[in-house]
Chains A and B, each alone.
Chain A
Amino acid sequence: LICLCLHPGAGQDVGRSCILVSIAGKNVMLDCGMHMGYNDDRRFPDFSYITQNGRLTDFLDCVIISHFHLDHCGALPYFSEMVGYDGPIYMTHPTKAICPILLEDYRKITVDKKGETNFFTSQMIKDCMKKVVAVHLHQTVQVDEELEIKAYYAGHVLGAAMFQIKVGCESVVYTGDYNMTPDRHLGAAWIDKCRPDLLISESTYATTIRDSKRCRERDFLKKVHETVERGGKVLIPVFALGRAQELCILLETFWERMNLKAPIYFSTGLTEKANHYYKLFITWTNQKIRKTFVQRNMFEFKHIKAFDRAFADNPGPMVVFATPGMLHAGQSLQIFRKWAGNEKNMVIMPGYCVQGTVGHKILSGQRKLEMEGRQILEVKMQVEYMSFSAHADAKGIMQLIRQAEPRNVLLVHGEAKKMEFLKQKIEQEFHVNCYMPANGETTTIFTNPSIPVDISLGLLKRETAIGLLPDAKKPKLMHGTLIMKDNSFRLVSPEQALKELGLAEHQLRFTCRVHIQDPRKEHETVLRVYNHLKGVLKDYSVQHLPDGSITVESILIQATAHSEDQGTKVLLVSWTYQDEELGSYLTSLLKKGLPQSTA
């Protein structure tokens, strides 16, 4: 079982997942993420390390995407439409529905900003999505005759899944990003006791014990409320899907409870589709949402309305969700410019911002920003950062290991130092090996696969006929010939094996010469030997054959006179390997000489 992280950069960077697993001769790529911090080749994993092994489509048996975040699926259209992978891709139904929205959203932003040409097109995203096979939770999907995969609920975001990959009796579980505590709209990750040979777990928050998400949410609501109360405007830059829906639910319920009147707008045309999917995949959300669904759909917002560009200039308080999320182009940046000068207003950044973007600058505290045309924009509005990301913390990771009971653990997607701490903890508590390879580093894990063998009915019958009746509790030793053919193993009787394989039988005999001092005639010596053996080996059938030789079971003894010394007789002893023990005993017996009395 071999595992290789293909995330670019030689360290153990956070983000942009892409892992290659070789299990019992099958090659599977787990996630195909991109890094948004770069705008050149570095944003995609370096697939040339895979193409060294021949054509991608031939080499890889399948690609599995754990969830729709771009650091897990952003390079997929590039991989399938530009690098040339043409094989199957698996993801859950919600991921398949939502993934293209995010990819399209990001493509638009990228192309808008840079006028880039070396990026995938809408058509490529569509063609890529057409190759995707959607899977249900807990459904065993047969990729080919040997390889099967199965998805488990992972929390984190809508449609996120952990995947079990199984070939024969070897298996790997890949967690993707997961969350062991339920949140406002999603449940907790869960897996059965599948005892995989390897569990590949993300470890973003490997040592952090996070303050509860509830606290962060309360904090968020408080800040929005205060700003609106004093007549300010709140800008929340988001990407089209994911965090946005989560915050919408939060604000919607809060507005309802507090009976607030300030308008909330959502600026992209995508909201309808996004909400549509949240409604469609209601079974993927948590119990509470599912229960209340009958009375009222959480995603049918009463207070949140579509935004029009002209609204930005309206007087009075309001809350606006606008894309893109890093304030680097488009509508969110335009609104930001309008509102930045007023200290009553607030911008809340709910996620990671790439260096160079306005989002990154204001988060690092810069308040005088150079805009295009050397204009200086003075930021007087309040800037808040709120993290709502839902990853498992150290406790959660341990909990998952306890659930799945893996034989080995491999940590990815985390910082080296933090992972080291967790690694020790895991090894101590569970007594399993824990690996934390650097990107580009191959980890080889040896498994002890138990290989099923078919036994021919004939052999079984024969064995039971000889021995006692089979007892389920007692292991029984069986003899037979093992035939390995066409990837299967069969135990058959030697005769059957010979017949099947068209082989002729050969007898293997051991021979040995024993010299005996005896001046008598040869046939007399033989007689002496016969009598001696008959006396010693009472339980065996010792025979004196007419041709002058002696047999004991399969052992044959013949006597000749020594060519030079007539007083010495040479006994030629030969036996088959089945009677190896008896043969050795007999020779040692004869070597001691014949007893005098028998004469």
Chain B
Amino acid sequence: MTRECALLLPGVCAALADPRQPGSDDTCLEKLLDWFRSMTEFDPSVSLVQDNPCLTEFITSILALPEPSPSILSFTLRLAGILASSENRFQHLQQEKLLVRLFGADGPLSSTVWEDASVRSGWVEGVHSMMHHQPALHFLCNSGGIDVIFALQGDPSLFVASSASQLLVHMLIFSVESETTKPFGAKDFDWPVCARMIIKRIEDSLQSSSASQVEQSLKLLTSLFSSCHSRWTEVLWLGMAKQIESFLTDETVQAQRVLANLLLNMAWSPVFCDSEGGLWALVTSALEHLTPVQVGPLAVGILRLYKCPQDVRIQALTVLLQPMDCILRAASQPLEYAGLLDESVSDPATVESLLSSKSSCASLLCQTLAHLEELLSLVYLRVDLPYTSLLRSLMTILQFCNGFLSPASPLGSTISRILINCFRVQSSALDVLAALSERKGCDTLIGSLFDVLLAYLESPNTTPTVLKKTFQATSKWLVRLHELSCSTSQWQQTEKILADVFLVLQKRLCSPCWEVRDSSLEFLTVLIKCLRDQDEFRQSLLSSEVPRLTENLLEDPESYVRASAVTAVGHLAFITFFAPELPVIGNQYNKENTVAKLQEILSKDPEGFPRRAVISMFTKWLRQGCTGRMEDTERFVSRVIQTVEHDLDWEVRLGGLELVEVFCSQTICQLGLPGCSSVPVLSAVTSSIHQNRSLQIFCRAKLFSFLFRSLCDCDKPVGQRACDILFALRGNFYPTGTPRDSQETGELPAGHGIAWLQRTLRQGSLAQNFPTAGGDGVDFEDPESMMLALGTIDLEELHDELNRSSDHVEKSPQSLLQDILATVGTIEENEADCY
């Protein structure tokens, strides 16, 4: 603790303890606790409480209040817990009996304030903080605290209940791991006293007739097994396994979901998944007995496991595929398709009845689809998925949803009636469809798949959200289609599909709904990014109306759409005027025209998104070497930075700096300066000439004025980036070893105004923006001055200043203490005002 803070602390404590003061802002108290936590975390010594007696005095005075406010009492409990986190400080507080009075049976526990959830929460958190040494453990066990915590697991406040459960887990682990003397499995092994107390209560509540108690204990075991992977957890489990196993078949116990979660967490623990113990038998039994909805998360969790018996894996997969199988069978004529599965794990009638009920059909399908998507995202899947049937099943679901399929079978017609227009199922199915595109093996269906996708793209009933997902799936499958047609040379089908896609895209680009226009543009950009090298794609795109419509959207009333249009137009340029050989049909695309349009958006658009999109597109062009010869690029960059220099949006200015950075490194690379590693080292003479040339280019392009001004930008990231770029430039012009003038400002040569610049920057980066009237004799376009500036200005110091942002003031404990003190006496009425 700094001396300043130590001086402020007594005043703060006194203010907090004063019941006449209005309660302090909650966030202040929280931040105060954060500070104490950070001070005590790595320092077990007693000095904090000894050197600051005001802390114990504060606790004493709160305890003396007849009616302390719940929030300050809660704060006190948590503070005391943090202070008591080391044995030394614990003893110190105990000497004054503070902990007994706070956490003991006669403390807040037995008073009316206990009814306030924040007090109970403070109590639990306080206990948790101190539970890092044995005296604390024994203190709590002896004071009957364990009963309190067990009771709090059923607290009406979820927050309190869950912290109580976490606390018990922590105490159990701590007790076993710090107090056990004999090895586990030894004949005379016995649990330590505190652990025994906790275990006894867990066992009791597992046998209780109260469902909530059973559930609490199962949850407790779940978090224990997930956070602790020591061998003793198995010993503990063996004592309870029989009881818990019986819950699987006992229909009176309503804890199936929790039970499945417990098994999953056990399967993840090396203790259980390796052992011969009955875990896998139990998992198998759960997969059989619980409903697909209850057991889905367990099944997908099992399939993620590295270590797991193959038969359990197959069973888990079967559980997940059952609904998909059922869909397929419901939709098909008898004997048309074999379905997905040869046999099922649980009774297929269960799945059938779930799918034919209005209330459970959509939720079961959504859950199944989400799990399948998760599986498909795994790099290594240790079971084989029947991709073709899965795809067929997905297509069936999608066709049910848009009413394109109404099968004759009673089950099929029931499901299709339930699913029609169900956008939740549509979204989930499209997500899986997109994920499936990366798996090989379902190519035979690709034609009919596009029929389904196009039907969605065309349908006016497709909601904007579903349309977006359809676009995502379509773009992925188009890439797949292309790969396929490369290998089979079936270009006709590809061309037909592309033509259809662009036709529908044309329509969507004119939608009255901005979400649809925007998603359409994003889709187009993705397509260009992935397929721009493909002839058929370029042909189809350029012969459609899409490019023209896209350009029209640069003037869309919605700024999001304008921004997306900018990005799309920028990418279109790669296949029109930036293409190595200009396509025949692309010659109506005028480069100057488009660039001018984007320039105009950059300088005139009233909103940030389109301007940001332009600057980032320009940077992309520059990176890809599309901006022409060096002189053209220089002019281009210069024009752009003069536009963005005064932009109100700092992210646009930052984008400008990024452009400058790319330009600098490209120029230096092309002229072969040592900064670019790809060029062989040149002799000192040629290097200095090049240096001069690039320096001249930078000066001519007015880069330096932009960079130095940016150092004083009122938005910090801009200043930081500018400083980084100047750093890099200095590294180029003054490679390590070359002497540079680092004299004091006073000794700087007169006439260049660099001393003034140094002074201004030093103040400017801190206090005000760069003087608009320009520099006091500083010529930012004079190479000699700029070389001098780079060499002499203390960029390191500026860099440090900029990095030490206002956060350092805002977050410092001293500032916090001052703020709390300052609010004493003022009324916190402004709390209610919000934005």
A337 and B767 contacting across the interface, CB-CB below 8 Å? yes
Residues of B contacting A49 in the complex (Cβ-Cβ under 8 angstroms) = 158, 162
| Cβ < 8 Å to B, chain A residues 423-444 | 437-442
A49 CA / B303 CA spacing, docked (Å):
25
A269 and B367 contacting across the interface, CB-CB below 8 Å? no
A440 and B769 contacting across the interface, CB-CB below 8 Å? no
Q: List 10 A-B contacts (CB under 8 A).
A: A10-B117, A55-B366, A69-B834, A70-B834, A269-B649, A334-B714, A356-B31, A360-B819, A388-B833, A440-B117
* Chain A to chain B: the 9 pairs with minimum beta-carbon distance, closest first: A440-B159, A37-B27, A10-B121, A438-B117, A364-B822, A356-B810, A11-B118, A352-B833, A269-B648
B30 and A439 contacting across the interface, CB-CB below 8 Å? no
Residues of A contacting B831 in the complex (Cβ-Cβ under 8 angstroms) = 14-15, 352
- Contact of A372 (CB < 8 Å), options: B519, B609, B804: B804
Residues of B contacting A440 in the complex (Cβ-Cβ under 8 angstroms) = 117, 157-160
- Contact of A273 (CB < 8 Å), options: B27, B427, B468, B607: B607
A438 and B606 contact, Cβ closer than 8 Å, known pairs A10-B159, A351-B835: no
- Contact of B832 (CB < 8 Å), options: A58, A129, A205, A272: A205
A416 CA / B785 CA spacing, docked (Å):
66
B117 and A441 contacting across the interface, CB-CB below 8 Å? yes
Is A338 on the interface with B (CB-CB < 8 A)?
yes
Q: Which residue of B lies closest to A332 (CB)?
A: B714
B835 and A69 contacting across the interface, CB-CB below 8 Å? yes
0 or 1 for each of B221-235: is its CB under 8 Å from A? (1 = yes):
000000000000000
| Cβ < 8 Å to B, chain A residues 310-358 | 310, 325, 328-331, 333-334, 337-338, 349-357
Residues of A contacting B620 in the complex (Cβ-Cβ under 8 angstroms) = none
0 or 1 for each of B626-662: is its CB under 8 Å from A? (1 = yes):
0000000000000000000000111100000000000
Question: Which residues of B are interface residues toward A (Cβ below 8 A)?
Answer: 25-28, 30-31, 70-71, 74, 116-118, 120-122, 156-160, 162, 257, 297, 357-359, 363, 366-367, 370, 423-424, 427, 464-465, 468, 515, 518-519, 559-560, 606-609, 612, 648-651, 714-717, 720, 766-769, 772, 801, 804-811, 815-816, 818-819, 822-823, 826, 829-835
B363 and A352 contacting across the interface, CB-CB below 8 Å? no
A243 and B835 contact, Cβ closer than 8 Å, known pairs A58-B363, A130-B465: yes
A4 and B158 contacting across the interface, CB-CB below 8 Å? yes
- Contact of B830 (CB < 8 Å), options: A71, A352, A375: A352
B835 and A352 contacting across the interface, CB-CB below 8 Å? yes
A268 CA / B649 CA spacing, docked (Å):
9
A338 and B768 contact, Cβ closer than 8 Å, known pairs A9-B26, A126-B560: yes
How near does chain A come to B823, taking the closest CB pair, in angstroms? Answer: 5
A334 and B834 contact, Cβ closer than 8 Å, known pairs A329-B716, A372-B805, A440-B159: no
How near does chain A come to B644, taking the closest CB pair, in angstroms? Answer: 13
Of the stretches A110-118, A282-290, A544-552, the one at the interface is A110-118
A71 CA / B831 CA spacing, docked (Å):
12
A355 and B74 contacting across the interface, CB-CB below 8 Å? no
Residues of B contacting A361 in the complex (Cβ-Cβ under 8 angstroms) = 815, 818-819, 822
Residues of B contacting A273 in the complex (Cβ-Cβ under 8 angstroms) = 559, 606-607
How near does chain A come to B375, taking the closest CB pair, in angstroms? Answer: 14
- Contact of B810 (CB < 8 Å), options: A35, A328, A439, A442: A328
Residues of A contacting B357 in the complex (Cβ-Cβ under 8 angstroms) = 486
Is A510 on the interface with B (CB-CB < 8 A)?
no
B156 and A131 contacting across the interface, CB-CB below 8 Å? no
A360 CA / B815 CA spacing, docked (Å):
11
B717 and A115 contacting across the interface, CB-CB below 8 Å? yes
A242 and B806 contacting across the interface, CB-CB below 8 Å? no
Is A175 on the interface with B (CB-CB < 8 A)?
no
Interface centre among A113, A129, A331, A440 (most CB of B within 10 A): A440
How near does chain A come to B830, taking the closest CB pair, in angstroms? Answer: 5
Residues of A contacting B609 in the complex (Cβ-Cβ under 8 angstroms) = 122
Residues of B contacting A113 in the complex (Cβ-Cβ under 8 angstroms) = 716, 805-807
Residues of B contacting A104 in the complex (Cβ-Cβ under 8 angstroms) = 608
A88 CA / B423 CA spacing, docked (Å):
10
A355 and B816 contacting across the interface, CB-CB below 8 Å? yes
A372 and B819 contacting across the interface, CB-CB below 8 Å? no
A356 CA / B27 CA spacing, docked (Å):
10
Interface centre among A55, A70, A442 (most CB of B within 10 A): A55
B28 and A330 contacting across the interface, CB-CB below 8 Å? no
A54 and B819 contacting across the interface, CB-CB below 8 Å? no
A14 CA / B121 CA spacing, docked (Å):
18
- Contact of B650 (CB < 8 Å), options: A38, A58, A112, A357: A112
A364 CA / B819 CA spacing, docked (Å):
7
A375 CA / B720 CA spacing, docked (Å):
19
A104 CA / B559 CA spacing, docked (Å):
13
A464 CA / B370 CA spacing, docked (Å):
54
- Contact of A354 (CB < 8 Å), options: B27, B715, B815: B27
Residues of B contacting A193 in the complex (Cβ-Cβ under 8 angstroms) = none
Q: Which residue of A lies closest to B772 (CB)?
A: A310
A131 CA / B25 CA spacing, docked (Å):
35
Residues of B contacting A37 in the complex (Cβ-Cβ under 8 angstroms) = 25-27
A88 CA / B162 CA spacing, docked (Å):
29
B835 and A373 contacting across the interface, CB-CB below 8 Å? no
- Knowing that A37-B27, A130-B468, A371-B809 are A-B contacts, what are 8 other residue pairs whose CB atoms are under 8 Å apart, sorted by A's residue number? A35-B27, A36-B835, A57-B366, A88-B465, A239-B835, A334-B714, A355-B25, A441-B117
Residues of A contacting B427 in the complex (Cβ-Cβ under 8 angstroms) = 86
- Contact of A269 (CB < 8 Å), options: B607, B720, B819: B607
0 or 1 for each of A8-39: is its CB under 8 Å from B? (1 = yes):
01110111000000000100000000011110
A370 and B160 contacting across the interface, CB-CB below 8 Å? no
Residues of A contacting B359 in the complex (Cβ-Cβ under 8 angstroms) = 25, 487
- Contact of B27 (CB < 8 Å), options: A38, A111, A385, A388: A38
A334 and B768 contact, Cβ closer than 8 Å, known pairs A356-B815, A486-B358: yes
A449 CA / B366 CA spacing, docked (Å):
29
Is A401 on the interface with B (CB-CB < 8 A)?
no
A185 CA / B70 CA spacing, docked (Å):
40
A70 and B835 contacting across the interface, CB-CB below 8 Å? yes
- Contact of A365 (CB < 8 Å), options: B71, B117, B716, B822: B822
Is A363 on the interface with B (CB-CB < 8 A)?
yes
Residues of B contacting A354 in the complex (Cβ-Cβ under 8 angstroms) = 27
- Contact of A416 (CB < 8 Å), options: B28, B70, B648: B70
Is A102 on the interface with B (CB-CB < 8 A)?
yes
- Contact of B31 (CB < 8 Å), options: A242, A334, A355: A355
A364 CA / B835 CA spacing, docked (Å):
20
B158 and A441 contacting across the interface, CB-CB below 8 Å? yes
B804 and A373 contacting across the interface, CB-CB below 8 Å? yes
- Contact of B118 (CB < 8 Å), options: A9, A355, A387: A9
Residues of A contacting B834 in the complex (Cβ-Cβ under 8 angstroms) = 15, 69-71, 351-352, 389
How near does chain B come to A349, taking the closest CB pair, in angstroms? Answer: 8
Is A366 on the interface with B (CB-CB < 8 A)?
yes
A438 and B768 contacting across the interface, CB-CB below 8 Å? no
Residues of B contacting A227 in the complex (Cβ-Cβ under 8 angstroms) = none
A441 and B157 contacting across the interface, CB-CB below 8 Å? yes
Interface centre among B26, B31, B122 (most CB of A within 10 A): B26
B160 and A10 contacting across the interface, CB-CB below 8 Å? yes
A25 CA / B360 CA spacing, docked (Å):
12
Interface centre among A113, A337, A437 (most CB of B within 10 A): A113
Is A309 on the interface with B (CB-CB < 8 A)?
yes
Is A182 on the interface with B (CB-CB < 8 A)?
no
Is A179 on the interface with B (CB-CB < 8 A)?
no
Is A204 on the interface with B (CB-CB < 8 A)?
yes
How near does chain B come to A22, taking the closest CB pair, in angstroms? Answer: 13
B768 and A355 contacting across the interface, CB-CB below 8 Å? no
B370 and A57 contacting across the interface, CB-CB below 8 Å? yes
B835 and A108 contacting across the interface, CB-CB below 8 Å? no
A355 and B27 contact, Cβ closer than 8 Å, known pairs A69-B834, A366-B822: yes
Residues of A contacting B367 in the complex (Cβ-Cβ under 8 angstroms) = 54-55, 58
0 or 1 for each of A387-416: is its CB under 8 Å from B? (1 = yes):
111010000000000000000000000001
Residues of A contacting B714 in the complex (Cβ-Cβ under 8 angstroms) = 309, 330-331, 333-334
A126 CA / B610 CA spacing, docked (Å):
13
Is A87 on the interface with B (CB-CB < 8 A)?
yes
